């Protein structure tokens, strides 16, 4: 997990990693499908951008989710999914 979520960008024609997305669509998935097991011919370009972001591809920024404002980000402890689960008491061995 990252300590800081990257601000999101709206996916569209000016998406910073569009060249990478199009390469994956037209070459990568066809020539090396084993490199992209999470993608298929029915994956959208937005799906490809998300996959590339999760892989850490440099120009592929985090795509905003539907309804999320561009530039939105959160730090740990401010989202609904905080790290509280990491700070729980150990369970007893008897279940």
Q: Report, as an integer, the average pLDDT of 37-51.
A: 96
Q: How confident is the model at residue 25 (pLDDT cuts 50, 70, 90)?
A: very high
CA atoms within 13 A on the CB side of 92: 2
- What pLDDT digit, counting tens, does each position of 74-86 carry? 775 554 544 444 4
Count of Cβ atoms closer than 10 Å to residue 24 Cβ: 24
Percent of the chain with pLDDT over 70: 75
- Residue 81's pLDDT is 47
Distance (Å, whole) CA 25 – CA 39:
10
- Residue 4's pLDDT is 58
Structure tokens at 32: 């090396």
- Residue 17's pLDDT is 96
Q: Which long-range contacts (CB under 8 A, 24 or more apart) does 86-94 make?
A: none
């Amino acid at each position: 997990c990252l300590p800081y979520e990257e601000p999101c960008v709206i996916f569209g024609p000016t998406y910073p990693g569009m060249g990478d997305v199009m390469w994956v669509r037209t070459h990568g998935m066809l020539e090396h499908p084993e490199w992209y097991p999470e993608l298929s011919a029915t994956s959208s370009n937005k799906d490809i951008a998300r996959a590339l972001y999760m892989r850490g591809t440099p120009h592929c920024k985090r795509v905003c989710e539907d309804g999320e404002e561009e530039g939105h980000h959160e730090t740990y402890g401010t989202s609904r999914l905080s790290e509280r689960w990491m700070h729980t008491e150990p369970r007893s061995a008897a279940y």
